[in-house]
């Protein structure tokens, strides 16, 4: 069985002006969406309040969710604690509260000796919120009691967020160094450019869905980086190979041939990986849904950019046959000996 | 062309065999259990086993078995409700001498356990439990350090005969005042000589005959203190909650500690243990009285009190007067004594403690001195419907040593049996001087049933993912696809085996990592198969196509996987918590997939096609 004819020779590079322009526009739009609209950071990042409630008689999760949302707690996460009587409700701080909580933590920073105070204030805040949640739930059902309420610190999120950023930077620099060493600087630049392109678009599309960006989502974004670099490296490898083996070495022609001859692998791997992460999205349960969705978007974007973005950038940067020839040895006499 | 030397086949077979054996324990489900372990002073023995059995039978709690191993009783139960009932009943009947914890017990057969083949421990998200994020109170650490410098400065002034020096803690470190410019320079020089770069000295304001000198702890020293504080607190916590199953204690940032107790459902009990405070005292041994007699009921001498040794439980009489306490202890480190060559512990006391130690040792050379470890565990009980807070005190003697000579603030306890013992003692000493109070800033309880749901969904996801990929690849590449499928399944086995050997905690993101690895692992085979097709198209003979396909694909596979490994490494190095778990799975998965999808499949191809004359290939 073959999905693609082996002798396909589509002139992808002819589209390069269109595809690069389109990519650039999409990147700008994605960046705008991310910065203007922002990501809906999950509790892991923002901090908030966790309230556990117990019903005397069985309660339906949809019923609980409705009761909470009807009273102004939009975006509250309701989870069953294993039965139909106990639920955990996670509430993000209100817009105003978020700023207030931030202000208290900021104020606490210079005076470390008073670090305990914001925690106290926060736990009071949690109690207050818990009271409001109880009131909201009581309007729907009377047989509900608060089991416990606790405060999830937002500063934890700050730290994790910066850790994630450092991780991404490290990964990008490491990949660049490796590609520079194994290929050539232009390949490294093209790879990192497509990396940034893929990440921006993936996160941008995810932001459009309005879903909560949580820790698994961050892990997924970082996996997208890994996946898409894999994809590009395979094509680049072919570029290097054909450059070295062909006599003429016309970059335009060679890049086209590389894309065409790796095309069926590119699509195949994209399909198998999508099958795998697709199951996470569809059957992995709510906890893995975001991970699956971001990976699916990322694989789609990454596959397209391997074809329409990475190689045009490479051509634009002016890659040539000389750049890729194995370094000739110091003494040509020595090399000629058997 | 596609045949391999025997040893290569043997190696592959061996690797897979080991993989299968070490992956096997994960098939045995964990069983609900209640674990009973003794606090110091109590013993777990056959009598207790019978007592527990009696309690459970009288309360009509059905259990499957009670095992006595490693000084612990493990009561296995069939379902969660029985587990909770058993836990509640045992806790109230056995009292404070025993720690009763709800837990999950392994059902792995003993022959597997004997070769250290154990299933992966499940993370909080999979089995439920409690999660605490604790913050170390650095302010109090600084306070304690500054108090130490105040003492030391006064000490130096006295030793060097610089009169009229006063030292106090101020808002900005330690404020020292001298009576003259010359005195200030003198004391400043002496302090620099004693502490070097530990402190930063700046001249302060001068008013009348008060010449100010400010002492601040240098950033490097503060950093070091912060690090020590965290590690001390972590070992203290580890010491305390070791009884509660398989706790995870991790440092996060430089002032936070994450404590996770998978399988533990009782937050109150966990909090009690975490909130306990410990202290330490040096006391003289009372040699006049007979400890055994006192232990058997005789009245102790007026100035002595009966204690028990931590290790043996043997009674010992100690003087009531304290020579030095944990507040005086600045630090303890395990050392290898250069003179005797035996392991020991080097202890540093504050100057105040050192003075008292000097005074005591001058009069008591050759006599034994003991270290008493006291732990105060807060407890909350309900009396007449009201919460009553009280605390339980646990006291024990952790070390007794003879005084060899006169010493003050710096001394060593030598002649310990092993470096392990020295490390343990140093850890206990440090733990006793619990570096700083910790506050719980975040607390989460995750229900066990929620975990079960996660496991089920995660497992289903893995199975469906594997199934889909296997079918798809088999259809697309026919024979070679099937070979790739075998490689993929073996990859799953190997991945699980290595994760189990490392005892990596399996979490939900970890499952995501496994699924992602499986999806991408097939990439190497896709590359190989596509290459073989290309070679065939270019007119190579089948055998040459296979070997050419593997050879040419290898460079690509290597480049692609190394870059992917870099990504996983980045996540591992900088991620924390769940992200780390994901990265570790990904990292191991990339390595195992390189082995199974290249080496193992090639060996399989060799076995199937080797020595045959092929006209065509099914790819």
Contact B530 A268 (CB under 8 A): yes
Distance from CA of A217 to the nearest CA of B (A): 10
The DSSP symbol for B552 reads H
Segments of chain B scoring below 70 in pLDDT: 1, 39-42, 70, 239-246, 253-254, 264-270, 272-273, 275-279, 376-392, 427-428, 430-438, 444-451, 574-578
Instruction: Classify residue B43 by burial, with Cβ atoms within 10 Å: 0-12, 13-18, 19+.
Output: exposed
The DSSP symbol for B119 reads P
- Which residues numbered 297-326 in A keep a CB inside 8 Å of some CB on B? none
Return the ∠ at Cα B122 (arms to B117 and B125), rounded to 5°. 170
pLDDT of residue B147: 77
Cα of B241 vs its chain's centroid, Å: 10
User: Would you list the DSSP string of B247-314?
Assistant: -EEEEETTTEEEEEEET---HHHHHHHHT-EEEEEEEEE--SS-HHHHHTTPPPPTTEEEEEBTTT--
Taking the C-alpha atoms of residue B553 and residue B545, their distance in angstroms, rounded to an integer, is 12
Tokens representing residue B9 in the block: 């086949």
pLDDT of residue A117: 41
List the single residue in A150, A167, A175 with the smallest CB-CB distance to B563.
A175
C-beta of residue B278 within 8 angstroms of C-beta of residue B373: yes
Residues 6+ apart with CB under 8 A from B163: B157, B179, B183
Instruction: Classify residue B4 by burial, with Cβ atoms within 10 Å: 0-12, 13-18, 19+.
Output: middle
Contact A166 B138 (CB under 8 A): no
Taking the C-alpha atoms of residue B340 and residue B56, their distance in angstroms, rounded to an integer, is 54
Tokens representing residue A182 in the block: 């194994």
The DSSP symbol for B202 reads E
CA distances from A223 to A63, A302, B494, B563, B605 (A): 36, 11, 21, 12, 31
Tokens representing residue B376 in the block: 């105060």
Backbone φ and ψ of B373, nearest 5° = -110, 120
Segments of chain A scoring below 50 in pLDDT: 95-119
Taking the C-alpha atoms of residue A265 and residue A258, their distance in angstroms, rounded to an integer, is 11
List the single residue in B516, B555, B574 with the smallest CB-CB distance to A170.
B574
| Other residues' Cβ atoms within 10 Å of the Cβ of residue A228 | 28
Residue of chain A nearest B473, judged by CA positions? A272
Backbone φ and ψ of B521, nearest 5° = -60, -30
Taking the C-alpha atoms of residue B141 and residue B436, their distance in angstroms, rounded to an integer, is 6
Q: Are strands A212-213 and A40-41 parallel, antiparallel or unpaired?
A: parallel
Return the ∠ at Cα A38 (arms to A34 and A44), rounded to 5°. 120
Tokens representing residue B163 in the block: 């009169």
Taking the C-alpha atoms of residue B47 and residue B36, their distance in angstroms, rounded to an integer, is 13
pLDDT of residue A152: 61
Tokens representing residue B492 in the block: 């799953």
Provide the phi-psi class of B551: left if phi over 0, else alpha when psi is between -120 and 50, else beta. alpha
What angle in degrees, to the nearest 10, is found between the helix axes of A215-245 and A251-283? 150
Residue of chain B nearest A291, judged by CA positions? B512
Taking the C-alpha atoms of residue B403 and residue B359, their distance in angstroms, rounded to an integer, is 13
Q: Which of B390, B358, B1 is nearest to B155 (CA)?
A: B358
Tokens representing residue B412 in the block: 């060593």
Tell me how long chain B is. 619
Contact A280 B465 (CB under 8 A): yes
Asked if the C-beta of B539 comes within 8 angstroms of chain A's C-beta atoms, the answer is no
Q: Where are the beta strands (DSSP E) in A153-231?
A: 212-213
Q: Are strands B343-349 and A212-213 parallel, antiparallel or unpaired?
A: unpaired
- Which residues numbered 219-248 in A keep a CB inside 8 Å of some CB on B? 219-220, 222-223, 225-227, 229-230, 233-234, 236-238, 241
C-beta of residue B260 within 8 angstroms of C-beta of residue B292: no
Tokens representing residue B27 in the block: 């098939």
Taking the C-alpha atoms of residue B278 and residue B239, their distance in angstroms, rounded to an integer, is 11
| Adjacent-strand bridge partners of B281 | B325, B372
Kind and range of the H or E run holding B609 = helix B601-609
Asked if the C-beta of A257 comes within 8 angstroms of chain B's C-beta atoms, the answer is no
| Other residues' Cβ atoms within 10 Å of the Cβ of residue A131 | 13
C-beta of residue B518 within 8 angstroms of C-beta of residue A224: no
Q: How far apart are the first and last CA of chain B?
A: 18
CA distances from A130 to A124, A135, B12, B411 (A): 10, 9, 59, 54
Q: Which of A240, A242, A192, A260 is nearest to B558 (CA)?
A: A240
**Residues of chain B with C-beta less than 8 angstroms from the C-beta of A292:** 512
Lay out the sheet containing B248-252: strands in order across. B248-252, B256-262, B129-136, B438-446
**Residues of chain A with C-beta less than 8 angstroms from the C-beta of B122:** none
Distance from CA of A226 to the nearest CA of B (A): 5
Is this complex's ipTM strictly greater than 0.90? no
Q: Are strands B166-170 and B173-178 parallel, antiparallel or unpaired?
A: antiparallel
Taking the C-alpha atoms of residue B473 and residue A299, their distance in angstroms, rounded to an integer, is 18
Residue of chain B nearest A234, judged by CA positions? B556
Instruction: Classify residue B88 by burial, with Cβ atoms within 10 Å: 0-12, 13-18, 19+.
Output: middle
Contact B252 A219 (CB under 8 A): no
Tell me how long chain A is. 338
Taking the C-alpha atoms of residue B193 and residue B71, their distance in angstroms, rounded to an integer, is 52
Tokens representing residue B68 in the block: 């006595």
Tokens representing residue B304 in the block: 């002595």
User: Would you list the DSSP string of A308-335?
Assistant: IIIHHHHHHHT--HHHHSPPPPS-HHHH
Q: Are strands B210-217 and B199-207 parallel, antiparallel or unpaired?
A: antiparallel
List the single residue in B523, B533, B555 with the smallest CB-CB distance to A269.
B523
3-state secondary structure of B96: helix
Q: What is the pTM of this model?
A: 0.70
Distance from CA of A57 to the nearest CA of B (A): 18
Q: Which of B415, B592, B583 is nearest to B16 (CA)?
A: B592
List the single residue in A81, A268, A295 with the smallest CB-CB distance to B516.
A295
Residues 6+ apart with CB under 8 A from A219: A291, B509, B512, B571, B575, B578, B579, B582, B583
pLDDT of residue B411: 85
Asked if the C-beta of B571 comes within 8 angstroms of chain A's C-beta atoms, the answer is yes
């Amino acid at each position: 069985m073959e999905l693609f004819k082996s002798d396909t020779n589509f002139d992808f590079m002819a589209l390069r002006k269109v595809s690069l322009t389109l990519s650039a526009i999409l990147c700008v739009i994605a960046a705008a969406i991310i910065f203007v609209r922002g990501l809906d950071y999950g509790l892991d990042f923002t901090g908030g309040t966790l309230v556990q409630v117990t019903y005397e008689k069985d309660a339906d999760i949809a019923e609980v969710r409705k009761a909470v949302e009807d009273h102004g707690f939009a975006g509250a996460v309701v989870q069953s604690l294993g039965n139909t009587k106990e639920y955990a409700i996670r509430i993000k701080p209100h817009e105003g509260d978020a700023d207030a909580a931030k202000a208290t933590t900021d104020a606490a920073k210079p005076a470390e000796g008073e670090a305990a105070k914001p925690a106290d204030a926060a736990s009071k805040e949690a109690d207050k919120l818990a009271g409001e949640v109880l009131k909201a739930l009581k309007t729907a059902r009377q047989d509900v009691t608060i089991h416990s309420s606790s405060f999830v610190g937002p500063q934890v999120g700050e730290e994790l967020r910066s850790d994630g950023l450092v991780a991404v930077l490290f990964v990008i620099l490491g990949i660049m160094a490796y590609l520079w060493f194994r290929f050539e600087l232009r390949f490294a630049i093209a790879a990192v450019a497509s990396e940034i392109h893929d990440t921006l678009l993936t996160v941008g599309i995810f932001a459009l869905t309005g879903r909560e960006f949580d820790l698994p989502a961050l892990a997924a974004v970082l996996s997208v980086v890994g996946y898409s670099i894999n994809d590009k490296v395979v094509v680049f490898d072919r570029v290097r190979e054909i450059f070295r083996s062909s006599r003429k070495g016309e970059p335009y022609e060679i890049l086209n041939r590389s894309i065409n001859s790796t095309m069926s692998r590119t699509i195949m791997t994209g399909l198998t990986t999508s099958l795998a992460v697709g199951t996470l999205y569809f059957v992995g349960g709510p906890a893995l849904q975001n991970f699956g969705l971001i990976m699916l978007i990322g694989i789609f974007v990454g596959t397209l950019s391997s074809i329409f973005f990475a190689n045009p950038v490479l051509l634009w940067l002016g890659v040539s046959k000389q750049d890729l020839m194995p370094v000739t040895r110091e003494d040509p006499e020595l090399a000629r000996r058997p | 062309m596609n045949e391999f030397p025997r040893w290569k086949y043997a190696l592959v077979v061996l690797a897979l065999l080991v993989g299968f054996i070490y992956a096997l324990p994960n098939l045995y489900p964990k069983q609900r259990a209640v674990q009973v372990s003794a606090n110091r002073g109590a013993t777990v023995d056959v009598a207790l086993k019978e007592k527990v059995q009696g309690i459970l039978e009288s309360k009509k709690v059905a259990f499957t078995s009670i095992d006595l191993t490693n000084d612990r009783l493990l009561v296995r139960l069939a379902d969660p409700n029985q587990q909770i009932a058993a836990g509640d009943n045992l806790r109230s009947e056995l009292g404070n001498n025993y720690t009763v914890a709800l837990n999950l017990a392994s059902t792995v057969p003993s022959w597997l356990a004997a070769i250290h083949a154990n299933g992966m421990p499940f993370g909080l998200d999979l089995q439920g439990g409690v999660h605490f994020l604790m913050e170390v109170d650095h302010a109090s650490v600084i306070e304690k350090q500054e108090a130490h410098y105040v003492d030391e400065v006064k000490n130096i002034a006295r030793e060097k005969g610089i009169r009229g020096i006063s030292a106090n803690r101020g808002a900005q470190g330690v404020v020292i005042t001298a009576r003259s410019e010359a005195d200030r320079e003198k004391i400043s020089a002496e302090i620099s000589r004693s502490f070097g770069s530990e402190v930063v000295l700046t001249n302060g304001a001068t008013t009348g005959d008060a010449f100010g000198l400010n002492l601040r702890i240098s950033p490097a020293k503060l950093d070091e203190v912060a690090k020590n504080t965290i590690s001390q607190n972590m070992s203290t916590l580890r010491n305390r909650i070791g009884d509660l199953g398989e706790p995870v204690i991790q440092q996060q940032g430089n002032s936070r500690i994450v404590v996770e107790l998978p399988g533990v459902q009782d937050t109150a009990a966990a909090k009690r243990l975490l909130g306990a405070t410990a202290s330490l005292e040096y006391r003289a041994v009372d040699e006049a009285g007979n400890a055994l007699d006192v232990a058997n009921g005789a009245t102790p001498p007026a100035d002595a009190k009966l204690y028990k040794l931590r290790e043996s439980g043997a009674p010992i009489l100690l003087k009531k007067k304290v020579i030095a306490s944990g507040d005086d202890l600045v630090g303890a480190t395990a050392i290898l004594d250069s003179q005797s060559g035996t392991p020991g512990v080097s202890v540093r006391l504050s100057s105040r403690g050192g003075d008292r130690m000097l005074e005591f040792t001058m009069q008591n050379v050759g006599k034994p001195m003991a270290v008493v470890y006291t732990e105060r565990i807060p407890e909350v009980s309900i009396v007449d419907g009201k919460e009553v807070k009280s605390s339980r005190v646990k006291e024990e003697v952790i070390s007794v040593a003879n005084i060899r000579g006169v010493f003050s603030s710096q001394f060593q306890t030598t002649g310990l049996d092993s470096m392990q013992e020295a490390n343990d003692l140093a850890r206990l000493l440090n733990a006793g001087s619990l570096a700083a109070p910790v506050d719980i800033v975040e607390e989460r309880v995750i229900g066990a049933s929620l975990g079960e749901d996660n496991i089920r969904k995660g497992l289903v996801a893995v199975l469906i993912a594997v199934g889909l990929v296997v079918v798809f690849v088999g259809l697309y590449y026919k024979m070679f696809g099937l070979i790739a499928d075998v490689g993929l399944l073996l990859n799953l086995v190997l991945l699980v085996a290595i994760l189990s050997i490392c005892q990596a905690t399996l979490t939900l993101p970890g499952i995501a990592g496994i699924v992602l690895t499986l999806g991408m692992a097939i990439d190497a085979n896709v590359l190989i198969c596509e290459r073989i097709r290309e070679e065939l198209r270019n007119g190579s003979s089948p055998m040459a196509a296979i070997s050419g396909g593997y050879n040419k694909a290898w460079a690509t596979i290597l480049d692609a996987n190394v870059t992917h490994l870099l990504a996983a490494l980045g996540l591992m190095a900088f991620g924390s918590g769940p992200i780390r778990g994901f990265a570790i799975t990904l990292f191991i998965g990339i390595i195992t997939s390189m082995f199974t999808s290249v080496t193992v499949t090639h060996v399989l191809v060799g076995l199937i096609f080797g020595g045959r004359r092929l006209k065509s290939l099914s790819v």
